[in-house]
Every structure is written in structure tokens, then in C-alpha cells.
Amino acid sequence: MSSSGSQSIQSVLKETRTFAPPATFSAEAHIGSQQQYDAMWKRAKDDPAGFWGEMAENLDWFRRWDTVLQGQMPETQWFVGGKINASYNCVDRHLLGPHRNKAAIIWEGEPGDTRVLRYQDLHREVCKFANVLKKLGVQTGDRVTLYMPMIPELTIAMLACARIGAVHSIIFGGFSSEAVADRNNDARARVVVTADGGWRRGKEVPLKAAVDTSLDKCPTVEKVVVVRRTGGEVDMVPDRDFWWHELMESVTADCDPVPLDSEHPLFILYTSGSTGKPKGVLHTTAGYLLGTTMTSRWVFDLKEDDTYWCTADIGWITGHSYICYGPLSNGATVVMYEGAPNWPDEGRFWEIIEKYRVSIFYTAPTAIRAFIKWGDQWPEKHDLSSLRLLGSVGEPINPEAWMWYHKVIGQERCPIVDTWWQTETGSIMISPLPGVTATKPGSCCRPLPGIVPDIVTRDGQSLGPNEGGLLVMRQPWPSMLRTLYGDHERFKKTYFSEVPGCYFAGDGARHDEDGYLWVMGRVDDVLNVSGHRLSTMEVESTLVAHSKVAEAAVVGFPHEIKGEGICCFVTLKSGEGDEALKAELVQHVRHSIGALATPDQIRFATALPKTRSGKIMRRLLRDIAAGRESTQDTTTLEDLSILAKLRSDEE
């Protein structure tokens, strides 16, 4: 797409099955009819300020806003003049009535240990940790890095930051120490909160040790707080490192939430782009909280007695928005699980659903494909009758995986919400409404109220039904990112310069004759590996940093479980590559970025295919990696013999 001159993207997927919501579901749903949805959507489109102002009544404010929406994309501000606190909305406001004793977090560790935190308990812990942060010198606006396993202390630390207006930056526990160092430095973090380790498939992931390595390169970090989770050996540096439990004993549980401006930064979350270092996506308080609060209610149809489980890691945006802020703001009961889905066996998720009577289950297509591979006998062993709604996120879901999810997990009873959104959008943008939408497997269906997408050519012209093009947003929405931390120019260039007047974040899509959206994947050089965004460029620069590598080109190829696998074409400074060097390069990438970036294929080449102007012909490499005949015009190829060589090296 990016290199072709054609204006639209060819779509080959045709899906005609539809699944209407059960009448009983619609009757009880927050949004229960097409008329209701149509009216909300139209109202929000015609009068965004009026609509979102009304929705904002669902949050608790210390001071009401003066102006709902100020400015135009990309420089928009929401609820200007308002004062609010996200921690107050997620915790304190639920203490006023019977929610006080409701479970906020039901946690299960991988080894099988469990904890339940009622809203009262969560409040006490959040207040105490906020006092700990203050004691360590953290002030409103300071950045705090959280590099932690999936334990309740992670949610507590997020909300404690939000309580005092510190900006959290969570780094997924699977990233390496080098990635931690980069992010600490970019955010200029003052404090890091971590754990001795976390459990993953029975093994300890040593987090504190990775932090220690990173800190040699992080001059801004003054203090480290360490949760004792695994009991593994750690080095504690005097005056720098402190145990969580010791600090918590030294403070009270009284800590008033700070009334913050609506636009006060809530968090930074790093995500991959097609060029350069990871981007620090910055979200602000009121708009983000409103987006996650309302979409949790609309899309997951959260009710008082639901037990809701999102299997994402909090280190990704899905965990931020739909384990922490969205559900807790709604006073929901959230299940949180520390470990792997296949530990101690492949039935672990279904066992958890049965054990806690989970009613809403939100996971990713890559997980669903793994469940299919492991076999129906695992879910069949468990009682899944508590489920009433299923969700999917992170990448397009293949219609066959959708059907399996519908039949085997949902037992043909549960609506499926295929939710399209991004780190940058903060909350769900395009999704079925479970009480309204007749779903089509593989389609994320219609935009939510307040969201105005379009499918356009590069010059911004709207395309008709079934013409593939670029997915853009024509109107601002409250939970959109406000900037890339420390690089506002990059923010404007990345999202607002591609298509005039619109937000664009890199996906191709089409809508069908019924107005349903079908996302066709990324059009930039971003891989989607197991639902996680990785930049080809970052993997390439990592490879080139190896002393033996001259040049590298990284492309994705279809992968049965991961969605996309990583294929690296590598040229060496001298000599021939062998199996040992392949293994060394794989380790090198794992070490530099983390296990999620582990290359699936390394292919040595004497040269890379380039156009006469020197651009690597990526589409050609993608075809080779996928074992396809290429349709790309090779007349611009500098040296045709390279092609034959690359093909002959196929594994």
C-alpha cells in the first residue's frame, strides 16, 4: 500500500454470516436498541460538546468545567476549567454506599495463591502508597516508572500516582533492561516501582535484576521500590532501593486526592511507530477517564453483579483502560491473573472462569488461536455457563477463530464484541454494542457514539462501500492522545499530516454496504505480533548494532498463532552466516528488546533488494518471507540476482 500508487486497497475477505443479539440480552442492556444507538451517535456527531458534557455527569468532579471542547485537532482540550482526580473516581466514590464491601480486584497468582481487595481495601492501599510516593519526594507532574508483574500492587501504584498527579509510565514486564533504560530516560522518571520478580510458566522473571542493569544508564532515577513477590534473591542498594512492605508500614492511610486540571497528564505509555524510537503516548485525566468509563459501560454492558475479566497485561493499553480505569470507575469487580494461559496446563483460563463465575471475558485473537490449537477438550472440562459476553482486541480476528470463540466458549449464547482501538485512542472506538449489533465474524462493526471514522484515499477523499483505504477519524474524541511525550512535532507529523484535517494512525480498512467496518491491518512498517505493536525499524536497528551485521531488513509474515511472525533479512560485514550466528542474533534481539520481539526467521543475504534510489523493497521481502510469488514490479530492482539468491535460501 505505502509504496503503490493505487488509491485503494483490494479486499478479498467476504463474510456473510450475521449473529443478532439474544432478545433477553438486548432487553437488559445499557444500550438496547438500534434506535437508541442511532440517536446517540447522531447527537454526538452533530453536537459533540453537548453530548460529551452530558456524559461527563457520570464522573465526579471537584470543579465543573467551563468549556467541554476547545480547539481543533490536533490541539484539542476537553473539559477546560474542570478539576478532577482519576483515583477518586475509581475508588473513593464507591465507598459512599454498599460498594464499600464489593470486591474491586479478585486476583489469582500463577502458583494458585489468591487475594481479594474490596473497594475499601483498595482505597486504603492506594492512599498508603500515595503517601509513600510523597515520602520519596514524588510531586505532582513527576514521572514514575512501573515495571511490575500482574499483581494488585501494580493497580495500586497506578492509582496512587493518579491520586497525587504523578504521571505513571508502565513498562511491560516482558521488555528487557535496555528497553527499560530507554523509557526511563525518555520520560525522565524519578522513581521506579518493581518487584523481585514475577511468575511465568513456573519460572521467575527477574524484574529487579533488569532494573538494576538499566539504572547504570538512567541518571534521573533516584529511588526504587521493590515488591516482594517471588522471594528471589535481589540486591538492594542502600538509600536507593526500598521494600514496598517496609515503606507501607511507615505511612498512614490518609491521603486526600489532589484536584487536578482536566488536562493534567495521567500517564505515558510507550508504543512502536514505523520510524525512530518508541513513542511516549501521553493521555490526560478527564477525557481519558470519561472515554474508558463510558465505553466499559456501553461495550461490556457492565452491570452491578458482573465478574469481569480482561486477560491483557496492564503493561499494554488494554490493561490500563480495561483492567484498571474503565471498570474500576464503574465500580465493577475485576478478575486479574498473573501468569500464562497454559500453566500448569492448557485449561487454566477456563478453570479461572469456572472458579470465579466470570461473566464477561475479554481476550485477544492470538490467544484464541492458541486455544483452538490446544483443543476443545480443555474448555469442555469446565463449566463456562457463567459467561454472558465475550470480547476480542488487538488485531483483526479471523472469521474461523471468531466462530470457534462463539461456539466453544460462548456456547452460541454470548454476543462477541470485536473492539477496534489503539494505544493512541485511549478507549474503544469501533465495536459492536452487545445488545444492539447483529455481528459479522471478522468485522468490528460500527463506531461508538462520539466517534466519526471515515475511509479515505491519501488525499482525504471518502471511499465508497467495499473500497479499501485509510482508516481516519474526522472528529476529536475525549480520550485521544494529546501529544508524544517530549516531541509534539512528531505527534503532529505522525497522526495529523498524512490525511489533511484527520487523525490517522496507520490502519487500512473498508466498510461494507451495511456500514460495517473491516480492518485490514497496518499500512505502515509496524508488525502486529500476538496483538502487540512492534516496529520493523527497531528490530532492524537492534540487528545492525550487532558487531557482525552490516544491514538488516525486517518484515512480517503470516503466523498461525502470533498473527504475524518476524522475518529478518541480514547481510554480514564479512564471511558467511551459519546456524550458530542465527541463534546468536535471535538472542541478541531478545536481549535488546525482549522476548516478544524474538525473530522467527533469520535469513542471510549477500545484499538486500533495493530500488535504484536505494529503498529496500519491503513488499518483495514480505512475499519472500511468506513463501509467495511476488506480484511486485521488479524492474526498478538494482540487482536482479539478489532475488534468486534470497529465494534459494528459503527455509
Give the interface with ligand PRX as residue ranges (CB under 6 A): 271, 317-318, 393-396, 418-423, 444, 505-507, 519, 521-522, 528, 532-533
Q: How far apart are CA 56 and CA 65, in angstroms?
A: 10
In the chain the first and final C-alpha atoms are separated, in Å, by 27
505, 495 contact by CB (below 8 A): yes
Nearer to ligand PRX, 230 or 318 (CB): 318
> Cα-flanking dihedrals φ and ψ of residue 397, to 5°?
-95, 130
The 10 Å CB-count burial string (b at 16+, else e) for 120-156 is: bbbbbbbbbbbbbbbebebeeebbbbbbbbbbbbbbb
Convert 465-494 to b/e letters by CB count within 10 Å (16 or more is b): eebbbbbbbbbbbbbbbbbbbebeebbeeb
Residue 330 or residue 528: which is nearer to ligand PRX going by CB? 528
For ligand PRX, the closer of residues 109 and 326 by Cβ is: 326
Q: What are phi and psi of 243, to 5 degrees?
A: -80, 135
CB 169 within 8 A of CB 189: yes
CB of 576 to ligand PRX, least distance (A): 37
Residue whose C-alpha is closest to residue 541's, from 268, 177, 178: 178
* CB burial readout 251-271, b (16+ within 10 A) else e: beeebebbebbbbbbbbbbbb
Of residues 612, 651, 647, 607, the one with CA closest to residue 633 = 612
| Closest CA relative to residue 607, chosen from 642, 556, 555 | 642
Which CB sits closer to ligand PRX, 271 or 333?
Answer: 271
Nearer to ligand PRX, 532 or 610 (CB): 532
Residue 467 Cβ, how far from ligand PRX at the closest point, in Å? Answer: 18
- Burial call 13-46: b when 16+ CB within 10 Å, e when fewer: eeeeeebebeeebbeebbbbeeebbeebbeebbe
Q: How far is the CB of 398 from ligand PRX (least distance, A)?
A: 11
CB atoms closer than 10 angstroms to residue 410: 19
- Enter the C-alpha cell of residue 73: 485537532
Please tell me the distance from the alpha carbon of residue 284 to that of residue 645, in angstroms, as a whole number: 51
Which C-beta is closer to ligand PRX: that of 349 or that of 518? 518
Contact indicator for 508, 524 with CB cutoff of 8 Å:
no
Going by C-alpha positions, the residue among 478, 169, 444 that lies closest to residue 317 is 169
Least distance CB 519 / ligand PRX (angstroms):
4
Residue 334 C-beta: closest distance to ligand PRX, Å: 18
Q: Which residue is at the shortest CB distance from ligand PRX? A: 423
Residue 534 C-beta: closest distance to ligand PRX, Å? 9
Of residues 396 and 435, the one with the C-beta less far from ligand PRX: 396
Question: Least distance in Å: CB of 522 to ligand PRX?
Answer: 5
Considering the complex, what minimum distance in angstroms separates the CB of residue 99 from ligand PRX?
Answer: 28
Backbone angles phi, psi at 427, to 5 degrees: -140, 170
Q: In angstroms, what is the minimal distance from the CB of 355 to ligand PRX?
A: 27
Q: Which is nearer to ligand PRX, 337 or 421 (by Cβ)?
A: 421
3-state secondary structure of 90: helix
Which CB, 271 or 307, lies closer to ligand PRX?
Answer: 271
Least distance CB 439 / ligand PRX (angstroms): 12
Residue 87 CB, nearest distance to ligand PRX (Å)? Answer: 23
